[in-house]
Amino acid sequence: MENKLLDVTNLTVEFGGLTALSGLDFQLREGELLGLIGPNGSGKTTCFNAITGIYKPSKGSVVLLTKDITGLNSQKIYKSGITRTFQRLRLAVGLSVFDNLVIGDTVDLNTSVLFNLLKRKALRKQVDYQLNKVKNILKIFNPDLVNAIYEPISKLTMIDRRRVEVCRALISRPRVLLLDEPSAGMTSEETREFMDDLLEIKKKTPSLGIILIEHEMSVIQRVTDRCVVLNYGKKIAEGTYKAISCSRDVRVAYLGED
Amino acid sequence: MMHSNLKISTILTAVLTMGAMAVFFISFLLAETEISLLITVALGIGFFIFAKNQSYFENMIIFSNQRPVFFHGLIIIIISLILSICKHEHFALFMIASVTLYATACFGLTLQLGYAGLTNFAGAAFLGIGGYTVAILANNNVPIILSVLFGGITASLIGSLLILPILRTRGHYAALVTIAFSLLFKTFLELNEFLGGPQGIKIPPMNLFGWSFSEPVLGGSFYISYVILSLIVMGVVLGITRLVEKSWLGLHFDSVRIDEVASSCFGINIAFWKITAFTIGNFFIGISGGIYANMLGHIAPTNFTFGDSLILISIVILGGIGNPIGVLPAAFLILVLPEKLQFIQEYRLLLFSILVILVLIYRPDGLLNRPLRKFYKEWGPPFIGK
């Protein structure tokens, strides 16, 4: 059996009287692509926000390998190896593709003021090193993007921006990658292309665990190993796509049958 | 291979443009009658439109990128010529030094507002902190170079206390904290006997390694010393600001400004970077305040009002938020124009405001908008926007 990577136990997020996420339990294994699905407002993004420290969970725990990361701030969670993308793109518009990708790799940058102002040659080496890294990761998703690294983000198409956002999350070699509806705003053809690249990444980095929020069931069926289904902040099913699509609860809540 | 691209015509037009700008600068500064001022402005606008159509300004940027030594040498020659022409003109020299020092302070604001996104409406208060620090230290025989540095350090330290409430607020509320500080600062000065109260405090003339700043220079005005000193300081601060922009520091500042949530999800400590930007920025403002106070010879609370803070912020906005080069023409326009418009008396502020509004209508991003951030100039053409 594969190693357990992320262990979420009884994760609960409350906003005042509203319980957005209630007692969620699930595990993510190394090399696994886990689908997180559920109707709008079922708590998928809240779950990501709670894992990445944007929201403080009211109860429960999140353990990465052996490290308890519950309630840590976002920076510490990033440093322990969890990165994410956002449902509504959160790239730094106004900066270049290169800058946006390097923001994903801040753990690898020397940010001392004196280093940056005085050791310009060493800085140049770091920039060139990052340049190489950025080019290599962009090549996986779209070789054309390599020629656009000095261009502003605003010149890219939607799918390329999504790709840049995923590259930004991958460049620091995280253990867990959280993808919040990356196919939003893409055509089905673009989504297919994107998911192919994602499967490629999964094959190349067997220790990486990915959680994917996705609405399109055919995509979930094609790429995920297992799924967790949420409704009203509670887990209503877990298992392979085949298993959950047979579950009556899931059909009622999500697929609109009764 | 890049050098071979530089055509003679590019160099010539670049040099011509720089020369024309210098001629405009000096005739504007020295114009005494309304007619001569009007002619200068008309010719200036005429040349500006012509040069813009012929892309002379682009040539200037290309020239500065590809022949930096030549370009900066030329600037020094032009400045020396300007200084030798107006070496007897006290007022013109005083204005040049003021513009230079305000611009230096605005580089600090550029770091804060333009890079890290911190609105600082207390610029004049930090100028004042620098100024009063220098006043106290200079009156106690501390060498001037140390007291100016201490002026910067004190501004940084007080700023890092002020940043604590700012970190707990966002957006407009952060700006409000600085407004409150700016108003408090002036009241504090007026009530403080030790700092001279409303009458202010005298500062002995500067003496830098035996170079006395109260003596005439080369038979000209003693202000020349201050002009030279402030130009040097401005050059250094501008250099540092640009190094900051073209480094990981600049990237972190920009990221914090653009999206705090995304930044913190990628390990960027928002509070740390805001404090860093605020501290470095206030240091720059503090040292320019220190030299400014020394040049005035006597400072009072009325030199550092909230209105002056607004002037500093409007220079940054008019110049183009985040572009330190834009600060230079903007500081010149905002400080010198009202002085030159004195012949229309009370209408001058009206005309001045209309002018600023017009500039912002036609150039909403300021006179020179900030080009795309890049680490090295060979990464692409210099004009590429966002």
- The pLDDT of residue A236 is 87
Classify residue B355: in a domain, yes or no: yes
What is the model's pTM? 0.91
Q: Token pair of A201, please?
A: 């990444």
Classify residue B326: in a domain, yes or no: yes
Classify residue B381: in a domain, yes or no: no
- Tell me the pLDDT tens digit for each residue of B152-204: 999 999 999 999 888 888 777 888 999 999 999 999 999 988 888 888 899 88
A-chain residue closest to B371, CA distance = A94
Q: How confident is the model at residue B354 (pLDDT cuts 50, 70, 90)?
A: confident
- Tell me the pLDDT tens digit for each residue of B209-235: 767 777 776 777 788 888 989 999 999
Contact check, Cβ <8 Å, A86/B249 = no
Cβ-based contacts of B267 with chain A (< 8 Å): 75, 78-79, 106-107
- Tell me the pLDDT tens digit for each residue of A230-256: 888 888 888 888 888 888 887 777 666
SS3 A229: strand
Q: B39 and B184 share a domain? A: no
Classify residue B379: in a domain, yes or no: no
Instruction: Select from B58, B85, B112 the last residue of a domain.
Output: B85
Q: Residue A31: what residue type? A: G
Classify residue B212: in a domain, yes or no: yes
Residue with the larger pLDDT of the pair B108 and A218: B108
Indicate the average pLDDT of chain A: 89
Instruction: Select from B85, B118, B143 the last residue of a domain.
Output: B85
Q: Is the pLDDT at B342 greater than 80, yes or no?
A: no
Cβ-based contacts of A73 with chain B (< 8 Å): 264
- The pLDDT of residue B2 is 47
Contact check, Cβ <8 Å, B374/A150 = yes
Q: B26 and B101 share a domain? A: no
Q: B17 and B162 share a domain? A: no
Cβ-based contacts of B372 with chain A (< 8 Å): 94-96, 150, 152
Q: Does A113 contact chain B (CB < 8 Å)?
A: yes
Q: Is the pLDDT at B1 greater than 50, yes or no?
A: no
Q: How many domains are contained in chain B?
A: 2
Q: Is the pLDDT at A1 greater than 50, yes or no?
A: no
Nearest-CA distance A58 → chain B (Å): 20
- Structural domain that includes position B272: 90-362
Q: What is the mean pLDDT of residues A199-206?
A: 90
ipTM of the complex: 0.91
Q: What is the mean pLDDT of residues A31-37?
A: 92
Q: B179 and B250 share a domain? A: yes
- The pLDDT of residue B353 is 81
Contact check, Cβ <8 Å, B372/A103 = no
Q: What is the mean pLDDT of residues A198-225?
A: 90
Q: B98 and B74 share a domain? A: no
Q: Is the pLDDT at B299 greater than 70, yes or no?
A: yes
Q: Does A140 contact chain B (CB < 8 Å)?
A: no
Classify residue B289: in a domain, yes or no: yes
Q: What is the mean pLDDT of residues B76-85?
A: 90
| Residue B370 vs residues A15, A161, B253, B284, B381: alpha-carbon distances, Å | 41, 22, 15, 20, 13
Q: Does A55 contact chain B (CB < 8 Å)?
A: no
Q: Is the pLDDT at B385 greater than 70, yes or no?
A: no
What percentage of chain B has pLDDT greater than the value 70?
Answer: 96
Q: B185 and B172 share a domain? A: yes
Count helices and strands in chain B by DSSP H and E runs: 15, 4
A-chain residue closest to B244, CA distance = A117
Q: Token pair of A39, please?
A: 């109707």
What percentage of chain B has pLDDT greater than the value 90?
Answer: 44
Q: B123 and B74 share a domain? A: no
Give the other-Cβ count within 10 Å of B209's Cβ.
Answer: 7
Contact check, Cβ <8 Å, B265/A83 = yes
Q: B41 and B154 share a domain? A: no
Q: B97 and B81 share a domain? A: no
C-alpha–C-alpha distance, residues B50 and B53, integer Å: 5
Q: In what order do the strands lie in the sheet with A209-213?
A: A82-84, A176-180, A209-213, A33-37, A226-231, A234-239
Classify residue B368: in a domain, yes or no: no
Q: B76 and B171 share a domain? A: no
Indicate the average pLDDT of chain B: 88
Q: B248 and B326 share a domain? A: yes
Q: B151 and B178 share a domain? A: yes
The DSSP symbol for A3 reads: P
CA B9 to mean position of chain CA atoms: 32
Find the DSSP H helices in chain A: 44-51, 74-80, 97-103, 113-118, 120-141, 158-170, 188-204, 217-223, 241-246, 248-250
Closest CA to B282 of B95, B97, B104: B104
Contact check, Cβ <8 Å, B251/A102 = yes
Q: How confident is the model at residue B141 (pLDDT cuts 50, 70, 90)?
A: confident
- Tell me the pLDDT tens digit for each residue of A53-83: 999 999 999 999 989 999 899 999 999 999 9
Instruction: Select from B85, B116, B134 the last residue of a domain.
Output: B85
The DSSP symbol for B88 reads: T
Using left for φ > 0, alpha for ψ between -120 and 50, and beta otherwise, residue A198 falls in alpha
Q: How confident is the model at residue A174 (pLDDT cuts 50, 70, 90)?
A: very high
Contact check, Cβ <8 Å, B264/A75 = yes
Lowest-confidence segment of A91-105, B2-16, B53-67 by average pLDDT: B2-16
| Residue B376 vs residues A171, B45, B242, B248, B271: alpha-carbon distances, Å | 22, 33, 11, 13, 28
Q: How confident is the model at residue B5 (pLDDT cuts 50, 70, 90)?
A: low
B-chain residue closest to A92, CA distance = B258
Give the other-Cβ count within 10 Å of A87's Cβ.
Answer: 14
Q: How confident is the model at residue B49 (pLDDT cuts 50, 70, 90)?
A: confident
Classify residue B383: in a domain, yes or no: no
- The pLDDT of residue A2 is 62
* CA Rg value for chain B: 21
CA B203 to mean position of chain CA atoms: 23
Using left for φ > 0, alpha for ψ between -120 and 50, and beta otherwise, residue B200 falls in left
Nearest to A116 among B247, B384, B385 (CB): B247
CATH of the domain at B248: 1.10.3470
Contact check, Cβ <8 Å, B276/A113 = yes
